[in-house]
Structure 1
Amino acid sequence: MAQFLGIIKLLVLFQFALIFIFVLAMYFTRGYFHYRAGKTKKLADEIAQRLSACLSEEQELPAKKLREYIKAIDVVLMVLKTMETHHRHEAAFQRFTIYLSHNLLQPAARNLYNSRNWLKRYYAAICLSYGFEKSDEDRLSQLVRDNTLLVSINAASTGIRYQNPIVINQLITSFAKGRHLQQSFFAQISEVSNYDVADIIITRLQIEMEPYTKLFCYRLLKQIPYTRLLDCAIDDLLFDLVDLRIGIIEYLTEVQDERKNQILYDLAFVPQWEVRAAVAKSLARIHNPRSMDILSILLTDPQWWVRVNSATSLYAQGEAGIDILKAQSPENDKFAYETAQRILLSGNRK
């Protein structure tokens, strides 16, 4: 019995020792992070003061400081982001960021882009967003292929911003198969106000044979939006892939060329109901009697989505389309009538 009580006592003492060690570890961990935070803040203040002085006096950083700051690039990027909010549109600041890009940010990116640590690769992508040399194209392309979403999206955005064919072709290859299709990326595409990026995409589209890569290219062209009719779009409709056909139809909605109308009309009665539904939706923006005739037929389609899209597009046609919806009768086609009533009711609520 005494031996058993001794064992219990040892276990209790052992538990108390573990609790004490755990509390002590928490205390030291908290102290360590507090120390690190204080050290980081002190470094950030020093870097901010140094960069602000160089900016205001238009001076360069000493070589020793450049070497030091490369090792603290995360803090430099944080300070630079804060400075951007105050000086973004100043010519002196723009010159200063070009100087920093060449002498600090690009060297840091070249050290970090191949790191096993995803956060360091992210810093490399952000550094290159301020500018890069032709010799950095392969590094940036590697970052586009990165398995970490945050890294690849930022690298892709940089390629788009600088309209770099090598990087843009890499992002098309990497993203085409459904990888990283994020709204932030498409928003970046749509911010480009000229056709330079579109020309790169079209060049790739004209030589590309893989259908899902073609689909991705058409999605990008729609997002820009590219408003010219491409001859290759007609040829690509021959691919037996529903997703590609829908992607081309969505691209055609942005095209400002009346030749697209007949292309859409020819697709209105294909066997794939998904394609018919996409055509029905696209005809909302083509206001003419031929569109309304086709939409009237598609309103009787056996597929629910085709009927709904047709009714919605007829409503968008204005008074003439609304009259077609009102003319539907349950005796002639119960489903067409119910769909028309649903759209008329939802339209009246707006």
Structure 2
Amino acid sequence: MGASTSFVTVAVWTGTIALVLTLLLALQIVQLRVALRRRERLAAGAVAKWRPLLNQAIVGEEPALPQLAARERLPFLHLWAHLQGSLRGDAAESLNRVARRLGVDTLARTMLARGARDERLLAALVLGHLRDRAAWDQLLPLARIGDSALSLTALWALVRVDPQAAADYLTPLFVEREDWALSHVAGILQQAAGPVALVLARLLPQLSEERLPRALRIAESLRVPLPGGALAGALRSNSPAVVVAALRGVIAPDSIEDVRRLVAHEDWQVRVQAARALGRIGEREDAARLTALLADPQWWVRYRAAQALRELPLLSRADLEEVRASLTDRFALDMLDQVLAEEAE
């Protein structure tokens, strides 16, 4: 009888505790939903208040600005950054003047130092748009942290603040950090393409063969010319991967002798890129080299050689017909016909 009573008591208390916990959880969910609705209403109110004023600034007016209330700060910064993302020139600078009048630069630096992760991301974005030089020393440490999103946003902001200084500091970082997608790297460095090219030209001779391909791919993504002297070591490397990466970045004629030598390379992927490079920088006399590649055992080599012949400067359609008439290899003839047909489409 006593054991049965104890069991019932335990069951009653367990049920009571479970009910109380369920009610508390339900209450917390309600509180969270109420708080979310309240934040949404505040955000909507802030946007409704500030959007017309920011639009006035965008079209060149000088709006009378009220004080930026504490509860409006995050919605305002989101709205301001969103508008900045689609603006250039005078309109963007007008928004910057509004932000500085409201003390947004100081607010963003404070958020960058002490805010939560999402606030720091927003602050870095805002400071980049503002080109805030005072934030440079705060942004630099963020460039090396493991959080890719935060570090890349900080890097983007640094480039906006000072392209030349950022190129000197960031280019070696971008070469080192394989976890940063090349598309993101190119997008960030686009505004500093000229200074980055100078840094890469200094950096390439010092890099190991493991780092060279990424550095060369960065130059290719930015479409910046590298001097032949900087590319020479990579073009003469024993590593086909390095040579291929270097050939993809050749867009200036001062590397032409190295490119001509590589037309006969034992690796077919090198021959492919050598043919493409000759199509970009080759001279009329290189038609003979490309014609010889039309008989290469590899299909891709033949295809790129035919394309390069079509693109070769100073080589007319009549010259191409003359090349075609000289061909005796059936595969070479078929490939040139295919590429010429593609051009006619």
**Match of residue 284 from structure 1:** 279
Q: Is the 8 A contact 1:106 1:132 kept in 2?
A: no
**Match of residue 79 from structure 2:** 79
**Match of residue 139 from structure 1:** 138
Q: Is the 8 A contact 1:325 1:340 kept in 2?
A: no
Tell me by how many angstroms 1:290 deviates.
3.3
Q: Which runs of 5+ in 2 are unaligned?
A: none
Aligned pairs for 1:109-148 (under 5 A) are: 109-114=108-113, 117-148=116-147
Whichever residue aligns with residue 347 of structure 1, its letter is E
Whichever residue aligns with residue 246 of structure 1, its letter is V
Tell me by how many angstroms 1:97 deviates.
1.2
Q: Which runs of 5+ in 1 are unaligned?
A: 331-335
Q: Is the 8 A contact 2:186 2:218 kept in 1?
A: yes
CA distance in 2, matches of 1:327, 1:52: 66
Q: Is the 8 A contact 2:185 2:218 kept in 1?
A: no
1:295 aligns with 2:293: no
1:97 aligns with 2:96: yes
CA distance in 2, matches of 1:230, 1:23: 70
Judge which range, 74-83 or 35-44, deviates more: 74-83
Tell me by how many angstroms 1:276 deviates.
1.9
CA distance in 2, matches of 1:239, 1:102: 56
- Distance change (3 Å), C-alpha of 1:207 and 1:182: closer
Q: Is the 8 A contact 1:198 1:221 kept in 2?
A: no
Q: Is the 8 A contact 1:98 1:130 kept in 2?
A: no
CA distance in 1, matches of 2:56, 2:332: 73
Deviation digits for residues 93-122 of structure 1 (CA, Å, limit 9, x no counterpart): 725514624863332332233558431221
**Match of residue 202 from structure 1:** 198
**Match of residue 107 from structure 1:** 106
Q: Is the 8 A contact 1:163 1:197 kept in 2?
A: no
Instruction: Give the alignment partner of residue 231 of structure 2, picking from 223, 230, 233.
Output: 233
Q: Is the 8 A contact 1:118 1:148 kept in 2?
A: no
Report the secondary structure of 2:103's partner residue.
Answer: helix
- Distance change (3 Å), C-alpha of 1:133 and 1:42: closer
Report the secondary structure of 1:270's partner residue.
Answer: coil
Aligned residues: 332
Report the secondary structure of 2:255's partner residue.
Answer: helix
- Distance change (3 Å), C-alpha of 1:321 and 1:184: farther
Deviation digits for residues 70-104 of structure 1 (CA, Å, limit 9, x no counterpart): x754322223246558986657x725514624863
CA distance in 2, matches of 1:20, 1:95: 52
Tell me by how many angstroms 1:126 deviates.
0.7
**Match of residue 179 from structure 2:** 179
CA distance in 1, matches of 2:17, 2:337: 72
- Given the two structures, how large is their TM-score scaled by the length of structure 2? 0.72
- Distance change (3 Å), C-alpha of 1:274 and 1:103: farther
CA distance in 2, matches of 1:184, 1:325: 47
Tell me by how many angstroms 1:41 deviates.
1.9
- Distance change (3 Å), C-alpha of 1:165 and 1:49: same
Deviation digits for residues 21-63 of structure 1 (CA, Å, limit 9, x no counterpart): 666554444333222211222233345467678995566765x
Tell me by how many angstroms 1:337 deviates.
5.1
Q: Is the 8 A contact 2:81 2:125 kept in 1?
A: no
State the identity %.
Answer: 14
Instruction: Give the alignment partner of residue 38 of structure 2, picking from 35, 47, 50.
Output: 35
Q: Is the 8 A contact 1:101 1:132 kept in 2?
A: no
Q: Is the 8 A contact 2:47 2:75 kept in 1?
A: yes
- Distance change (3 Å), C-alpha of 1:76 and 1:158: same
Judge which range, 204-213 or 30-39, deviates more: 204-213
- Distance change (3 Å), C-alpha of 1:82 and 1:110: closer
**Match of residue 347 from structure 1:** 342
Deviation digits for residues 202-237 of structure 1 (CA, Å, limit 9, x no counterpart): 145315512465544544444443357442222443
1:45 aligns with 2:43: no
**Match of residue 333 from structure 1:** none
CA distance in 2, matches of 1:15, 1:290: 88
**Match of residue 153 from structure 2:** 154
Q: Is the 8 A contact 1:280 1:295 kept in 2?
A: yes
**Match of residue 260 from structure 2:** 265
Q: Is the 8 A contact 2:235 2:258 kept in 1?
A: no
- Distance change (3 Å), C-alpha of 1:239 and 1:341: closer
